[in-house]
Chains A and B, each alone.
Chain A
């Protein structure tokens, strides 16, 4: 389809042709023509945010819960710089986004014009790719390319920076049909020889473990299905990173729980003692590996990843397979069946009996209390009440995030939205709003802390404006809990600036925005209060006052290997858990 139109019209037409239904944005001088073009159509709905960081996190929540590309529209200068945190977050967690930024007109670029910044320069290291469109004749192609790059291969954020004069200029629009990318052609199918070798290694394994990650989620729901099929066929245990939760059902007997710094004992011990590790769409991040030179010392490692740069980045693997998780797992299944591969049932049974011993340590246990709400109990109570509902969970970053990962259990992919790689406080509320936009009939809960929630709280106003009844479940311990925990660990309990003084009255604050506020401090009232929250079809801010001194356990202290975890039955070991070398790590 070729048709003459203005740049601004092209932007809207390209969004329509890319099947975009929602976008998140904030107007400003350098994007006014696009907002005007938006005014003349009603196919793409625009969610007006309160801060550009919120727009990007909303698009992330939208994308991760729906499998679609999230779209953001912001103005030049501060509009673009405010988006940088969200873009970096999306880059680290591989979330497909297209972020359109306005730019000062081309003849003013470089003159320090009003609201000018070097957007492509600033966002180059925090996007998968970015474009500055100086010529109207490139605009339609670049828009379609941006969608292609964002969602193909390892997904990521793409910025399209459009000077204001280009938005006004007229040119020929081309549709997405004839766009073929010259260089970016990621490989989906794994090398058949390597897949055969992987099946042979897996079939011979005596102590196998499947270590899964966010790549399984990104590969689509079909990838989770194939993963489940392979796990069932082989009988092998499955663990996951924070980003991969939900790809494998938490109720399954083969599920070990999350691994890593605050993962379960059984997951980390299985990683440490395994003889064959199948890493599926995960990246051997430092939260996962613990001390690198003591990471799973006796295992052969197979690594499936669509991004070749993930291979051998932190951990040297024995068999890398470049490809999309779904395709590679499907091929592994086919070859496994074709070879009539049989796992070593006896060895696997004894591996499971070892795993059951680790499980019996009950690493997620916590003391109960009738006097004060334990944060873990708050998550458990929430989980019990919503587990049979159509529920999506987002989180902020900190202790509450880890407790949510440990005590909320996921059966399906795309139900869990959290900032894993960048660890962005303030992610959860806007992400929840984005999820709610994608799933208006579902229950969406942001599990938050009282510190994190204040970083993007203004988006409550967005939730009210667009009738998005998100629930914000704040575990309020009046501390930046994870900072306090680390100050206990590393700095002799000197709580330098980790106490949240002058907290607002969250109930009144919610009411001031037009939402509903609920406070609960008594364990006996908790279930009733959660029930009340769920019965309201409006945004609710739930201020749950919890134990102020609880630590997240179990824990692999920095600089330690997987088999030196601190367990909840010996929390005193935290006191001198980290040596001088470990202190340098994050």
Chain B
């Protein structure tokens, strides 16, 4: 069978792009137009002086597809550089989430205990709710959210993954 049917892998791609109108649409459009997955996406300007933004995309696909995604991104005119952080080595990956829980009495106690053990911070409190802030790997946030689920989880807002390679070299 064609190698496209090899098992899917999860990769984190990081790219530096010109911070110009439409650049995000170009990248997102490439993923949707060619049928690739976006599991998570983060974008922000990283150098105001040189108008550069850094985009981090977590995607899944067979190795041949991942290679294809990287080359397709690389040939977009405003893209300076694409690095597959998963190939380069274990990258540092972090995500931030804000999580709102609603409840009274014992349930509040329980939620605070769980938040404490995950080193989440309480950033908003009312008599019947908390908003927690948590930073970590996506799996840790998944786990934290699933523990809060039965305790009155109201809503979750997540940033998506930001990632950077380990060691002294830049991308």
Q: Given the complex of chains A and B, what is the CA–CA distance between A515 and B129 in angstroms? A: 82
B29 touches which one: A124, A128, A312 (CB < 8 A)?
Answer: A124
Report chain B residues within 8 Å CB of A520: none
| A286-305 contacts to B (CB < 8 Å) | 292-293
Q: Given the complex of chains A and B, what is the CA–CA distance between A471 and B29 in angstroms? A: 41
Query: Quick check: A309 and B75 within 8 Å, CB to CB?
Result: yes
Report chain B residues within 8 Å CB of A330: none
A121 touches which one: B1, B2, B25, B71 (CB < 8 A)?
Answer: B25
A125 at the interface (CB under 8 A from B): yes
Q: Assess A316 versus B64: contact at CB under 8 Å? Given A124-B25, A184-B77, A308-B74.
A: yes
**Chain A proximity of B124: nearest CB distance (Å):** 36
Report chain A residues within 8 Å CB of B45: none
A307 at the interface (CB under 8 A from B): yes
Report chain A residues within 8 Å CB of B165: none
Give per-residue flags for B1-41: 1 if the beta carbon is below 8 A from chain A beta carbons, else 0. 11100000000000000100110011001100100000000
Chain B residue nearest in CB terms to A145: B77
Q: Given the complex of chains A and B, what is the CA–CA distance between A184 and B74 in angstroms? A: 10
A-B contact pairs, 20 of them (CB 8 A): A124-B22, A124-B25, A124-B29, A125-B29, A125-B30, A132-B21, A153-B75, A182-B80, A183-B77, A183-B78, A183-B79, A183-B80, A184-B77, A307-B71, A307-B75, A308-B71, A308-B75, A309-B68, A311-B71, A312-B67
Q: Assess A182 versus B3: contact at CB under 8 Å? Given A308-B74, A312-B64.
A: no
**Chain B proximity of A209: nearest CB distance (Å):** 21
B72 at the interface (CB under 8 A from A): yes
Q: Given the complex of chains A and B, what is the CA–CA distance between A120 and B23 in angstroms? A: 11
Report chain A residues within 8 Å CB of B2: 292-293, 314
Most buried by B among A132, A154, A312: A312
**Chain B proximity of A159: nearest CB distance (Å):** 12
A313 at the interface (CB under 8 A from B): yes
Chain B residue nearest in CB terms to A289: B2
Query: Quick check: B22 and A309 within 8 Å, CB to CB?
Result: no
A359 at the interface (CB under 8 A from B): no
Chain A residue nearest in CB terms to B26: A124
Give per-residue flags for A125-155: 1 if the beta carbon is below 8 A from chain B beta carbons, else 0. 1001100100000000000000001000110
Report chain B residues within 8 Å CB of A149: 77
Report chain A residues within 8 Å CB of B77: 128-129, 149, 183-184
| B62-95 contacts to A (CB < 8 Å) | 64, 67-68, 71-72, 74-80
Most buried by A among B33, B71, B72, B77: B77
Report chain B residues within 8 Å CB of A154: 75
Report chain A residues within 8 Å CB of B71: 307-309, 311
Most buried by B among A124, A182, A307, A309: A309
Report chain A residues within 8 Å CB of B79: 183
**Chain B proximity of A447: nearest CB distance (Å):** 33
> What total of chain A residues lie within 8 Å of the partner, measured CB to CB?
23
A182 touches which one: B18, B67, B72 (CB < 8 A)?
Answer: B18
Query: Quick check: B72 and A309 within 8 Å, CB to CB?
Result: yes
How many A-B contacts at CB < 8 Å in the complex? 47
Report chain B residues within 8 Å CB of A132: 21-22
Query: Quick check: B74 and A125 within 8 Å, CB to CB?
Result: no
Report chain A residues within 8 Å CB of B64: 312, 316
Q: Given the complex of chains A and B, what is the CA–CA distance between A316 and B6 in angstroms? A: 12
Q: Given the complex of chains A and B, what is the CA–CA distance between A316 and B75 in angstroms? A: 20
**Chain B proximity of A213: nearest CB distance (Å):** 18
Q: Given the complex of chains A and B, what is the CA–CA distance between A431 and B67 in angstroms? A: 36
Give per-residue flags for A87-127: 1 if the beta carbon is below 8 A from chain B beta carbons, else 0. 00000000000000000000000000000000011001100
Q: Given the complex of chains A and B, what is the CA–CA distance between A455 and B54 in angstroms? A: 45
Report chain B residues within 8 Å CB of A312: 64, 67-68
Q: Given the complex of chains A and B, what is the CA–CA distance between A308 and B67 in angstroms? A: 10
Q: Given the complex of chains A and B, what is the CA–CA distance between A183 and B3 in angstroms? A: 32
Report chain B residues within 8 Å CB of A316: 3, 64
Q: Given the complex of chains A and B, what is the CA–CA distance between A125 and B64 in angstroms? A: 22
Report chain B residues within 8 Å CB of A129: 76-77
Chain B residue nearest in CB terms to A316: B3
**Chain B proximity of A520: nearest CB distance (Å):** 46
| B103-153 contacts to A (CB < 8 Å) | none
Chain A residue nearest in CB terms to B3: A316
Report chain A residues within 8 Å CB of B29: 124-125
**Chain A proximity of B30: nearest CB distance (Å):** 8
Give per-residue flags for A167-182: 1 if the beta carbon is below 8 A from chain B beta carbons, else 0. 0000000000000001
Report chain B residues within 8 Å CB of A121: 22, 25
Q: Given the complex of chains A and B, what is the CA–CA distance between A183 and B16 in angstroms? A: 11
Chain B residue nearest in CB terms to A313: B68
Q: Given the complex of chains A and B, what is the CA–CA distance between A316 and B76 in angstroms? A: 23
Q: Given the complex of chains A and B, what is the CA–CA distance between A121 and B26 in angstroms? A: 9
Q: Given the complex of chains A and B, what is the CA–CA distance between A149 and B72 in angstroms? A: 16
Q: Given the complex of chains A and B, what is the CA–CA distance between A528 and B64 in angstroms? A: 56
Chain B residue nearest in CB terms to A309: B71
Query: Quick check: B18 and A183 within 8 Å, CB to CB?
Result: yes
Most buried by A among B2, B33, B78, B79: B2
Q: Given the complex of chains A and B, what is the CA–CA distance between A132 and B77 in angstroms? A: 14
**Chain B proximity of A518: nearest CB distance (Å):** 45
Considering the complex of A and B, which 8 residue pairs feature the smallest CB-CB distances, nearest first? A309-B71, A129-B77, A308-B71, A292-B2, A309-B72, A183-B80, A184-B77, A125-B33
**Chain A proximity of B132: nearest CB distance (Å):** 39
**Chain B proximity of A492: nearest CB distance (Å):** 30
Report chain B residues within 8 Å CB of A128: 77
Report chain A residues within 8 Å CB of B22: 120-121, 124, 132
Q: Given the complex of chains A and B, what is the CA–CA distance between A247 and B153 in angstroms? A: 66
Chain B residue nearest in CB terms to A315: B2
Chain A residue nearest in CB terms to B5: A293
Q: Given the complex of chains A and B, what is the CA–CA distance between A121 and B25 in angstroms? A: 8
**Chain A proximity of B166: nearest CB distance (Å):** 26
Chain B residue nearest in CB terms to A121: B25
Q: Given the complex of chains A and B, what is the CA–CA distance between A290 and B29 in angstroms? A: 29
Q: Given the complex of chains A and B, what is the CA–CA distance between A307 and B74 in angstroms? A: 10
**Chain A proximity of B21: nearest CB distance (Å):** 7
Other than the given A129-B76, A132-B22, 13 more pairs (CB < 8 A) read A121-B22, A124-B26, A125-B30, A149-B77, A182-B18, A183-B79, A183-B80, A184-B77, A308-B75, A309-B72, A309-B74, A309-B75, A316-B3
Report chain A residues within 8 Å CB of B76: 129
Chain A residue nearest in CB terms to B34: A125
Q: Given the complex of chains A and B, what is the CA–CA distance between A124 and B33 in angstroms? A: 11
Q: Given the complex of chains A and B, what is the CA–CA distance between A314 and B2 in angstroms? A: 8
Chain A residue nearest in CB terms to B21: A132
**Chain A proximity of B128: nearest CB distance (Å):** 42
**Chain A proximity of B104: nearest CB distance (Å):** 47
Q: Given the complex of chains A and B, what is the CA–CA distance between A132 and B80 in angstroms? A: 20
